[in-house]
Structure 1
């Protein structure tokens, strides 16, 4: 019998049984090694604030509508940061072998069955730390922000929020040739951003972030601001911090109404462009060359090559049996954790 994490009610995560099934000839069975928890999107489902739990998403019109919901509790197998090892191959499978490691998205469950064609496109090199595999989707999300930002060499980029996606965005902005100003209210996250290459860090809790960024840039402001907090007040400060007629890329998953956002102030008077940087699409000018799979494979390749440090973001590794505790920690004490990983062999650290 397999296992998976189920949100059985708001703020309740339980490990429940999941029945396995037999393989088809063209499929492989993958035993999960590690699964990472997203402290953004996943927590919205855990808490019950995700709009899919309160409204119905009309895919054809791309609108949220009242009167129904897209999901309801229990929400089973949520999660998009997984890596596993092939333990069984179907009779017709030719390109994959038992023991190979596969990265991808299949939720917090002990195993997944995938078609050979899908799995063969997601092989993790044997010499790589297997934990790199859990960063394929969050790495793609971060890289998509960079593509939306259209950063030029020599520009100053301010990154608001130094959780996992923010740390990745800051590293990628530096790789793209930017001088990076990293902003967060948690000292440990600022320290880590510095170790990972951010040129400057600012303590958001001290206030006057926009004033300090303008002072650091000769009064101009940042060439582009990247908002990765999901906090409306941080978004407002990012708008205040960007140069005249420049852009703010908004990647944070905002919840509820926009308290703390004053669009009649700097947004209106400085002609600021807000760009929704969301993984469902790529910047239109790049869609003929980039898609989600290329974003994912690029993030994995950069991590394997050591150009993107992902394993330093792991703060806790807990066995699957402690999934409930892991989600409570991220919900109630976010300052104590960064990337929390579930281990499926029972180990923790």
Structure 2
């Protein structure tokens, strides 16, 4: 029997049991080891604030339009940061083994049945700590944002928002040869960024301090990773003339506080969105989402990215509702929350 976590209504979680499906010849059964909880997209589902919860996303027009919500309740596909191990093989599967670890997206559930071909492409390195697998997708989101930033070696990059994706962006920007300034009002998050490689951290608003640190020029690139309107406004003020601001945050509703007739207009600021549904346009013939996922794993395994310290809270799967509530309340010191199975 497999058990899944579903969202019945805003802030209302429940567990559902389903019989184990028999395996096809070319399938494997994966027992989940760990599942990360996203404090971004997943909490917008949990709170009911995502535009998908109240509008219909027209795939052809790529517009939100009136109509039945694209993500109606109950939400059965909650969770996208999983890692598990193979516990059963289909009769035709000869090149995978019981006990091999797999990363991927299969929601908060105890077991997952996958095609063997899918599993082969998502094998963790044999000696890797399996927990690195929960960062495959959020790591890909962060790497995609760094690609969209077009960082040049020697650039000064300011990262606004030092939650989990912002911490990964900061590490990846430094690995790209940038001098990294992290900006966040939370001193605990700034301390984590200091420890994990940011060259300097600041409380916000930080535009004037960043201008002062760069001889009046401003940051070569600003990357907003919080979804907080004041952070985006500060990033626009802090970036150099005719330079790029990458907006990665998932803003909810209207965005107040953007004074577009001031620095944005007079400094010819380029504002671009980075979102994992597509990769950086100039590199999409080389960089696919599977490559981003794999790279997020490999960079951790090689020690280029150090993400395990971002796991600050974990809980047994049975206690998932309590952990979601702690995330929702913004508990101090909470970065990556993880469920154990």
TM-score past 0.5 threshold: yes
The aligned counterpart of 2:18 is 18
Following superposition, the deviation at residue 138 of structure 1 comes to 0.4
Paired position in structure 1 for 2:108: 108
Which residue is 2:285 aligned to?
288
Alignment match, 2:244: 247
Pick from 293, 318, 330 the counterpart of residue 315 of structure 2. 318
In 2: Cα distance, 1:326 partner to 1:258 partner: 28
Q: Which residue does the alignment assign to 1:52?
A: 52
Instruction: Verify the 8 A CA contact 1:158 1:182 in the aligned structure 2.
Output: yes
Aligned residue number for residue 152 of structure 2: 152
In structure 2, the partner of 1:267 is: 264
**Unaligned stretches of 5+ residues in structure 2:** none
Q: Which residue of structure 2 lines up, in the alignment, with residue 162 of structure 1?
A: 162
Pairwise mapping of residues 190-201 of structure 1 onto structure 2 (< 5 A)?
A: 190-201=190-201
Aligned residue runs from structure 1 range 1-349, under 5 A: 1-204=1-204, 207=205, 209-344=206-341
CA contact (8 A) 1:15 1:320 kept: no
Q: Which moved more, 1:262-271 or 1:182-191?
A: 262-271
Q: Is the 8 A contact 1:82 1:108 kept in 2?
A: yes
TM value normalised by structure 1: 0.96
Deviation at 1:150, TM superposition (A): 0.5
CA contact (8 A) 1:4 1:15 kept: yes
SS in 2 for 1:335: coil
The alignment partner of 2:139 has SS state of helix
Return the alpha-carbon distance in structure 2 between the equivalents of residues 66 and 259 of structure 1.
Answer: 23
Deviation at 1:88, TM superposition (A): 0.3
Deviation at 1:15, TM superposition (A): 2.5
Q: Is the 8 A contact 1:85 1:98 kept in 2?
A: yes
Q: TM-score, structure 2 length as denominator?
A: 0.98
SS of residue in 2 equivalent to 1:15? strand
**Separation in 2 of the partners of 1:274 and 1:128?**
38
Whole-Å separation in 2 of the counterparts to 1:130 and 1:203: 34
Higher alpha-carbon deviation: 234-243 or 330-339: 330-339
Given that residues 188 and 333 in structure 2 are in contact (C-alpha distance below 8 angstroms), is that contact kept between their aligned partners in structure 1?
A: no
Decide which moves more: 335-344 or 165-174: 335-344
Is 1:13–1:327's contact at 8 Å kept on the other side of the alignment?
A: no
Alignment CA distance shift 1:168-1:233 (3 Å): same
Tell me, in whole angstroms, the C-alpha distance in 1 between the residues paired with 2:247 and 2:5. Answer: 29
Do the aligned partners of residues 264 and 335 (structure 1) sit closer, same or farther apart at CA in structure 2, a change above 3 Å counting? farther
1:306 offset after TM fit, Å?
1.2
Return the offset for 1:335.
2.9
Offset of residue 251 of structure 1:
0.6
SS of residue matched to 1:87? strand
1: CA distance, partners of 2:91 / 2:259: 61
**CA-to-partner distance for each residue in 1:89-118, whole Å, 9 max, x for gaps?**
000112211110000001101111110111
Secondary structure class of the residue paired with 2:207: helix
Aligned to 1:347: none
Partner SS, residue 336 of structure 1:
coil
Q: What is the deviation of 1:19? A: 2.8
Post-superposition offset of 1:233:
1.4
C-alpha deviation, 1:132, in angstroms: 0.3
How many Å separate the matches in 2 of 1:22 and 1:317?
A: 31
- RMSD of equivalent CA atoms: 0.9
List per-residue Cα deviations over 1:18-41 (Å, max 9, x = no partner): 332111100000000000000000
- Structure 1 gaps of 5+ residues are 345-349
Question: How many pairs does the alignment contain?
Answer: 341
